[in-house]
Structure 1
Amino acid sequence: MNLNQALTHPIFEIISKSAAELGIDAYVIGGFVRDYILKRGQHKDIDIVAIGSGIALAKQVAKNIPNHPKVQVFKTYGTAMLKYEDIEIEFVGARKESYSEESRNPIVEDGTLEDDQNRRDFTINAMALDLGEANFGTLLDPFDGLEDLEAKIIRTPLDPDITYSDDPLRMMRAIRFATQLNFTIEPASLDAISKNKDRINIITKERIVVELNKILESDVPSIGFLLLEQTGLLQYILPELMALKGIDEKEGQRHKDNFYHTLEVVDNIAKNTDDVWLRWAALLHDIGKAPTKKFSKKVGWTFHGHELAGSKMAYRLFKRLKMPLNDKMKYVQKMVFMSSRPIALAQDVTDSAVRRLVFDAGDHVDDLMVLCEADITTKNPKKFKKYHNNFKLVRDKIVEVEERDHVRNFQPPVSGEEIMEAFNLKPSREIGTIKESIKEAILEGKIPNEHDAAYKLMLEEGARLGLKRHEV
Structure 2
Amino acid sequence: MNLASSLDGYSIFKTVGTAADKLGLEAYVVGGYVRDILLKRPSKDIDFVAVGSGIALAEAVAAELGPSVNVAVFKNFGTAQIRFDDMELEFVGARKESYRSDSRKPIVEDGTLEDDQKRRDFTINALAISVNQKTYGELIDPFDGIGDMKRKIIRTPLDPAITFSDDPLRMMRAVRFASQLNFDIEADTFSSLMEQAPRLKIVSQERITDELNKIIMSPVPSYGFKLLFHSKLLKEFFPEMVALHGVEYIGNNAHKDNFFHTLQVLDNVSKVSDDLWLRWAAILHDIAKPATKRYDKVHGWTFHGHEEKGARMTPGIFRKLKLPMDERMTFVQTLVRLHLRPIPLAKEVTDSAIRRLLFDAGDAIDALMKLCRADITSKNLQKVDKFLKNFDLVEQKMKEVEEKDHIRNFQPPVTGDEIIKMFNLPPSRIIGDLKERIKEAILEGEIRNDREEALALLMRIAKEKGLEPVQTD
* TM-score, with length taken from structure 1: 0.98
Q: Residue 209 of structure 1 aligns with which residue? A: 209
Q: Residue 387 of structure 1 aligns with which residue? A: 387
Please, which moves more after superposition, 227-236 or 64-73? 64-73
SS in 2 for 1:48: strand
CA deviation after TM superposition for structure 1 residue 349, in Å: 1.1
Please, which moves more after superposition, 395-404 or 1-10? 1-10
C-alpha offsets along residues 107-135 of structure 1, whole Å, 9 cap, x if unaligned? Answer: 11000000000000011001111010011
In the alignment, the residues of structure 2 paired with residue 418 and residue 119 of structure 1 have an alpha-carbon distance, to the nearest angstrom, of: 69
Please, which moves more after superposition, 100-109 or 12-21? 12-21
SS in 2 for 1:76: coil
Q: Residue 148 of structure 1 aligns with which residue? A: 148
C-alpha offsets along residues 291-343 of structure 1, whole Å, 9 cap, x if unaligned? Answer: 11011112111111111111222211111122211111111111111111111
Residue type matched to 1:272 in 2?
V
| Identity level (%) | 56
Q: Residue 197 of structure 1 aligns with which residue? A: 197
In the alignment, does 2:188 pair up with 1:188?
yes
In the alignment, the residues of structure 1 paired with residue 116 and residue 216 of structure 2 have an alpha-carbon distance, to the nearest angstrom, of: 30
Residue type matched to 1:381 in 2?
L
Q: Residue 433 of structure 2 aligns with which residue? A: 433
Matches within 5 A, 1:51-450: 51-450=51-450
Q: Residue 38 of structure 1 aligns with which residue? A: 39
C-alpha offsets along residues 63-101 of structure 1, whole Å, 9 cap, x if unaligned? Answer: 222343322222222111110011111111100011111
In the alignment, the residues of structure 1 paired with residue 420 and residue 381 of structure 2 have an alpha-carbon distance, to the nearest angstrom, of: 58
Q: Residue 12 of structure 2 aligns with which residue? A: 11
CA deviation after TM superposition for structure 1 residue 55, in Å: 1.3
In the alignment, the residues of structure 1 paired with residue 64 and residue 344 of structure 2 have an alpha-carbon distance, to the nearest angstrom, of: 65
C-alpha offsets along residues 8-40 of structure 1, whole Å, 9 cap, x if unaligned? Answer: 212212211211222111100011111111111
Unaligned runs of 5+ in 1: none
Please report the RMSD computed on the Cα atoms of aligned residues, expressed in angstroms: 1.2
In the alignment, the residues of structure 2 paired with residue 310 and residue 435 of structure 1 have an alpha-carbon distance, to the nearest angstrom, of: 29
Residue type matched to 2:24 in 1?
G
C-alpha offsets along residues 154-201 of structure 1, whole Å, 9 cap, x if unaligned? Answer: 111111111111111111101100000000101010001111110111
Residue type matched to 1:79 in 2?
T
Q: What is the aligned residue count?
A: 471
Unaligned runs of 5+ in 2: none
Residue type matched to 1:246 in 2?
G
SS in 2 for 1:96: strand
In the alignment, the residues of structure 1 paired with residue 427 and residue 237 of structure 2 have an alpha-carbon distance, to the nearest angstrom, of: 49
Q: Residue 28 of structure 2 aligns with which residue? A: 27
CA deviation after TM superposition for structure 1 residue 451, in Å: 1.4
In the alignment, the residues of structure 2 paired with residue 73 and residue 426 of structure 1 have an alpha-carbon distance, to the nearest angstrom, of: 63
CA deviation after TM superposition for structure 1 residue 417, in Å: 4.0
Residue type matched to 1:416 in 2?
G
In the alignment, the residues of structure 2 paired with residue 416 and residue 63 of structure 1 have an alpha-carbon distance, to the nearest angstrom, of: 65
CA deviation after TM superposition for structure 1 residue 143, in Å: 0.8
CA deviation after TM superposition for structure 1 residue 426, in Å: 4.7
Q: Residue 458 of structure 2 aligns with which residue? A: 458
Residue type matched to 1:265 in 2?
V
SS in 1 for 2:92: strand
SS in 2 for 1:209: helix
In the alignment, the residues of structure 2 paired with residue 372 and residue 316 of structure 1 have an alpha-carbon distance, to the nearest angstrom, of: 24
Residue type matched to 1:230 in 2?
H
